[in-house]
Amino acid sequence: MHELALADSVVKAALQAADDAGITRIGRIVVKVGELQQIEKDLFEFSLTSVIPSQDPRLADAEFDVAEEAVRFACRACGTEYGRSDVDIDSAGDEGEAVHFIPELSHAFARCPSCASPDFDITQGRGITLERIEGSADDAD
Amino acid sequence: MTRIDPRTAVVSDRLAGVQRIIGVTGSKGGIGKSVVASLLALSLADRGVRVGLFDLDFTSPSDHVVLGADRRFPDEEFGIDPHRVEGIDMMSVAFFAGDAPVPLRGDAATNALLELLAITRWSDLDVLVLDMPPGLGDTNLDVIRLLPRLEFLLVGNGSRVVIESVRRALTLFAELEVPMVGLLENMHRGTSTAIADLAAAHRVCFLGSIPYDETLEEALGDAASLRQTAVYAGVPTLD
Ligand SMILES: Nc1ncnc2c1ncn2[C@@H]1O[C@H](COP(=O)(O)OP(=O)(O)O)[C@@H](O)[C@H]1O
Ligand SMILES: [Mg+2]
Ligand SMILES: [Zn+2]
């Protein structure tokens, strides 16, 4: 399950962000899961809880807030903006599997619904992002 | 607090078991970076060095062709596992993309690189060889930015069309203080010493001259035949 590696990156990034912001107890870790990568929200939540280091005091009260984000594409050639249902990537087969591992491989399989260009930007909903962390500075530390 | 890209937080973790990271680069296409990177990895593996090969030329991956590696999805566990080919741990977008062309702009190439760095499980390696795309563009700048331990092995040849861009590359890498394994001449023909002279002028190690080898094309894809080529004989030993 490569979701575990991504979950591990979220937890490590949250700890780095906490240290940078002087947060000693993290309350909430707000994560977005982009539609393009086809990672199931439940599975990702499970991955996050299974990689979290149980001994780290900064994470003792931490809760995850995982939300899904729709993918949007913007065509560089004709300007059309479009979504997942407008493109033909076979999610069950090898194409979907490739995009699941490397969302940029959508450029190999997806085409603009208006002009058939592969030259598009993924403007949102690509993959996993850490939106923000919330927490407090424990003065006793 | 703004959005954070979580992947950068684990790049150094994922490469923690790797002793040296060597980017085989060159400012032009078609000068033999992929062949040199692949045969450098093969020759190191043959001498018992634990070696990985990471094809970063996402729009034109070649190392799987050079070494005759099957294109199939990597196994997935806590991340994805490189394929084992002739004793080399290999990762390439070719394992995912099948025959489809992969047109990527710079930002997309950066994202693909970060994704693979974040999810690939390299085992403990003495050397990880990166096969770089040509030029001084996105991916070359990305590895300089993301991998502080990176060393470059620069491939050039004695053609006047190539020499000028080799000089530009040497100037940039010196300015950015990227450690250099050295400068390797490939497809040497005639008696030109231009590349050796350039190495001396820029105070980088000259790693030798690999001759133009007519037998290379036939040998591609077959490790036993590749071991008989001048490229295999001419890649540096790194010791
Ligand atoms: N020393 C050599 N002798 C003969 N052909 C070579 C030699 N080095 C590379 N080639 C050939 O030159 C072409 C370009 O090599 P490649 O490694 O793909 O270059 P790059 O990665 O720099 O674009 C390939 O067909 C390769 O087989
Ligand atoms: Mg190449
Ligand atoms: Zn379009």
Please report, for chain B, the start and end positions of each structural domain, with discontinuous segments joined by +. 7-234
- A93-134 pLDDT, tens digit each: 999 999 999 999 999 999 999 999 999 999 999 999 999 999
Instruction: Specify the pLDDT at position A44.
Output: 96
* B180-183 contacts, C-beta under 8 A, 24 or more apart: B180/B151, B180/B152, B180/B153, B180/B154, B180/B204, B180/B205, B181/B22, B181/B151, B181/B152, B181/B153, B181/B205, B181/B207, B181/B236, B181/B238, B182/B153, B182/B154, B182/B206, B182/B207, B182/B236, B183/B154, B183/B155, B183/B156, B183/B207
Q: B62 alpha carbon to ligand 2 midpoint, in Å? A: 6
Q: For the sheet containing B150-156, what is the strand order? A: B83-85, B88-91, B51-55, B125-131, B18-25, B150-156, B180-188, B206-211
Q: Is there a contact between B86 and A13 (Cβ–Cβ < 8 Å)?
A: no
Q: Residues B155-161: what's their mean pLDDT? A: 94
Tens-place pLDDT, residues A43-92: 999 999 999 988 899 999 999 999 999 999 999 999 999 999 999 998 88
The 3-state DSSP composition of chain A as helix, strand, coil percent (nearest 5) reads: 40, 25, 35
Size of interface A-B (CB pairs under 8 A): 115
CA distance B136 to chain A (A): 21
Q: Chain A contact for B99, CB < 8 A?
A: no
Residues carrying CATH 3.30.2320.50, chain A: 2-70+125-136
CA-CA distance, B66 to B226, in Å (whole number)? 9
Contact between chains at B3 and A6 (C-beta distance less than 8 A): no
Architecture of the domain spanning A2-70+125-136: 2-Layer Sandwich (3.30)
In this predicted structure, the answer to whether residue B215 has a pLDDT above a threshold of 70 is yes
pLDDT score of A141: 47
B81 interfacial to chain A (CB closer than 8 Å): no
Quick check: A16 contacting B, CB < 8 Å? yes
pLDDT in tens, B66-108: 999 999 999 998 999 999 999 999 999 999 999 999 999 999 9
In whole numbers, what is the pLDDT of chain B averaged over residues? 96
Q: Whole-model pTM?
A: 0.97
Residue B218 is predicted with a pLDDT of 98
User: What fold characterizes domain B7-234?
Assistant: Rossmann fold (3.40.50)
Mutate one of B7, B60, B92 to test the A interface: name it (highest A CB count within 10 A): B7
Chain B nearest-CA distance from A23, in A, is 12
For residue B167, CA distances in Å to B82, B97, B103, B164 come to 35, 35, 29, 5
